[in-house]
């Protein structure tokens, strides 16, 4: 398996799509990196020679935040929001949607499995 930025990428996929297995590299960045490294995006990852892989790795190391460093930066950003008691930080802390989505009817992904509240219905004041 070819290694790009320290990550094994699938060798049977085209290099354009194989690079997207790296956290922090999407379709646009993969296309830009391949153009800069002068690698044909239609080649399979297993067919790319060592020199081209070295050029790709050098470009990623020089200008992109990927994998562990990116995950660490994102978690530090969230921690900073929590520390300064920002609204977004409070939403992260409570496990609720952060970007203004409604919570009355949806947001099960963030809130988790339903918790039944005893005696909520049928109580009339």
Query: How is residue 97 written in tokens?
Result: 């949607």
Which CATH number is 36's domain given?
A: 1.10.8.50
Higher pLDDT, 87 or 125: 87
Give the number of domains in the chain.
Answer: 2
| Whole-number pLDDT of residue 4 | 85
**What's the domain range around 42?**
3-63
pLDDT tens digit string along 34-60?
999 999 999 999 999 999 999 999 999
Residues in Cβ contact with 11 at an 8 Å cutoff, skipping those fewer than 6 apart: 1, 2, 18, 44, 45, 46
DSSP one-letter code for 116: P
pLDDT tens digit string along 52-97?
999 999 999 998 999 999 999 999 999 999 999 999 999 999 999 9
In a domain, 14, yes or no: yes
In a domain, 78, yes or no: yes
In a domain, 117, yes or no: no
Strand partners, 8: 3
User: Is there a single domain that holds both residue 50 and residue 84?
Assistant: no
Strand partners, 14: 44
| Whole-number pLDDT of residue 62 | 93
Mean pLDDT of 2-12: 87
User: Is there a single domain that holds both residue 30 and residue 46?
Assistant: yes
């Amino acid at each position: 398996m070819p290694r790009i930025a320290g990550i094994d990428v699938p060798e049977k996929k085209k290099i354009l799509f194989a690079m997207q297995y790296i956290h922090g590299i999407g379709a646009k960045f993969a296309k830009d990196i391949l153009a800069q490294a002068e690698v044909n995006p239609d080649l399979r990852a297993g067919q790319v020679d060592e020199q081209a892989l070295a050029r790709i790795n050098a470009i990623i190391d020089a200008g992109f935040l990927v994998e562990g460093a990116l995950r660490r930066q994102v978690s530090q950003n969230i921690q900073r929001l929590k520390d300064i008691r920002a609204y977004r930080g409070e939403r992260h802390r409570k496990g609720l949607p952060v970007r203004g989505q409604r919570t009355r009817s949806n947001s099960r992904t963030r809130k988790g499995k339903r918790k039944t509240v005893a005696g909520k219905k049928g109580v009339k004041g």
